[in-house]
């Protein structure tokens, strides 16, 4: 019954002249993950089915938003209402089409989702685009980054808590040696580096991260400034709040390009129901200002209100 009432409110939000954005924000900002998930019998909950009908029926159009608010608000709404698997599949597709500047998105999806979430994104990609993610990554990427990225999107990691400390210490040494000898061979081209980062569980990799600092005196990502894709991979696997805080701060700088600015929507939408609380804490720690305050200062209108509503979900 609650969903039926909210669906009626959504329909009213799109009736008449223009769009009632605050009604839209109020309803969508309260959606729980299960209200955007596909049920086992293949049917969406009533609220999602209604929103999908509104979307597919063309009621959210470019002209609707050009008069009422920015295109960024529309894009945030559309991204938020997608099933997470479809959303990730489309994000990867866009990254492959637009090139190296967006390869970090592939790393995000491959490294910060659970094994089942990544598998779901792979299935959605296959259904949407008639290719596998692995196939398209291998086809589009010709650089030395291909081996790493294909292995990352193919991963199905163990998600238990068991860690073999001896193996973690040994592999920390292997990583340190590979990075230390980067002048002879780039770490991203080292088969053992790729194996460790693409097959080991996240608890195991976090143990490696700890032992690496004991060996080097610095964190792995601090030693990888010369290889940004590897650095992003390590941070997404071992310290995701640190990674996402960095991405968010870049998007909130003045005069950034449109492609960079889009990451603000992507990160907040994809992390709102997972680790937003930790990201907010890390952002405040790193930059000395709350994420909410920064968004208040740099964003406008209903787009700003929608972002603030989503980040408030994390507590």
Q: Domain locations in the chain?
A: 2-68, 87-144, 165-238, 251-312
- 306 known ligand binder: no
- 262 known ligand binder: no
The pLDDT value recorded for residue 258 is 85
The pLDDT value recorded for residue 25 is 74
- Residue range 58-86: average pLDDT? 69
pLDDT digits (tens, 9 = 90+) for 181-196: 998 999 999 999 999 9
The pLDDT value recorded for residue 123 is 96
- 251-312 has the same fold as 87-144: yes
CA 142, distance to chain mean position in Å, is 24
The pLDDT value recorded for residue 88 is 97
Rounded CA-CA distance 93/129 in Å is: 9
Label residue 95 exposed, middle or buried (CB < 10 Å: 0-12, 13-18, 19+). Answer: buried
Closest CA to 92 of 145, 55, 134: 134
Residue 172, pLDDT above cutoff 90: yes
pLDDT range class, residue 41, cuts 50, 70, 90? very low
Q: What percent of the chain is predicted at pLDDT more than 70?
A: 78
What topology is assigned to 165-238 in CATH? Annexin V; domain 1 (1.10.220)
Was domain 87-144 assigned CATH 3.40.50.720? no
Q: Give me the sign of the Cα torsion angle 32, 38, 41, 43.
A: positive
Residue partners of 106: CB distance under 8 A and separation at least 6? 92, 95, 96, 137, 149, 152, 153
- 14 known ligand binder: yes
Q: What is the CA radius of gyration of the chain?
A: 21
- 314 known ligand binder: no
The pLDDT value recorded for residue 11 is 56
With contact defined as beta carbons under 8 Å apart, do 226 and 179 qualify?
Answer: no
What topology is assigned to 251-312 in CATH? Annexin V; domain 1 (1.10.220)
pLDDT range class, residue 120, cuts 50, 70, 90? very high
With contact defined as beta carbons under 8 Å apart, do 22 and 302 qualify?
Answer: yes
Residue partners of 270: CB distance under 8 A and separation at least 6? 84, 87, 88, 91, 108
pLDDT digits (tens, 9 = 90+) for 230-285: 999 999 999 999 999 999 999 999 888 888 899 999 999 999 999 999 999 999 99
- Residue range 164-177: average pLDDT? 97
pTM of structure: 0.85
């Amino acid at each position: 019954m609650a969903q039926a009432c909210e669906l009626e409110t959504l329909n009213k939000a799109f009736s008449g002249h223009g769009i009632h954005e605050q009604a839209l924000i109020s309803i969508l900002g309260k959606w729980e993950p299960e209200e955007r998930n596909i049920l086992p019998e293949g049917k969406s909950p009533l609220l999602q089915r209604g929103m999908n009908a509104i979307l597919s029926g063309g009621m959210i159009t470019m002209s609707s938003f050009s008069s009422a608010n920015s295109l960024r608000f529309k894009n945030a709404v559309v991204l938020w209402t997608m099933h997470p698997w479809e959303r990730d599949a489309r994000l990867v597709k866009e990254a492959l089409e637009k090139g190296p500047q967006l390869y970090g998105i592939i790393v995000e999806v491959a490294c910060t989702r659970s094994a089942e979430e990544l598998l779901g994104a792979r299935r959605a990609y296959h259904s949407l685009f008639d290719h596998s993610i692995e196939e398209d990554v291998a086809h589009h990427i010709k650089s030395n980054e291909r081996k790493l990225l294909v292995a990352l999107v193919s991963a199905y990691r163990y998600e238990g808590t068991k860690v073999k400390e001896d193996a973690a210490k040994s592999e920390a040494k292997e990583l340190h040696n590979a990075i230390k000898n980067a002048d002879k061979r780039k770490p991203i081209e080292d088969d053992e580096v790729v194996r460790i980062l693409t097959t080991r569980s996240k608890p195991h990799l976090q143990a490696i991260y700890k032992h690496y600092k004991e060996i080097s005196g610095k964190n792995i990502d601090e030693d990888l400034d010369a290889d940004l894709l590897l650095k992003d991979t390590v941070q997404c696997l071992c310290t995701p709040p640190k990674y996402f805080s960095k991405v968010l701060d870049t998007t909130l700088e003045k005069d950034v390009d449109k492609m960079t600015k889009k990451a603000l929507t992507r990160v907040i939408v994809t992390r709102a129901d997972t680790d937003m609380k930790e990201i907010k804490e890390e952002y405040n720690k790193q930059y000395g200002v709350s994420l909410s305050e920064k968004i208040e200062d740099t964003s406008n209108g209903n787009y700003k209100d929608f972002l603030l509503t989503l980040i408030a979900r994390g507590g």
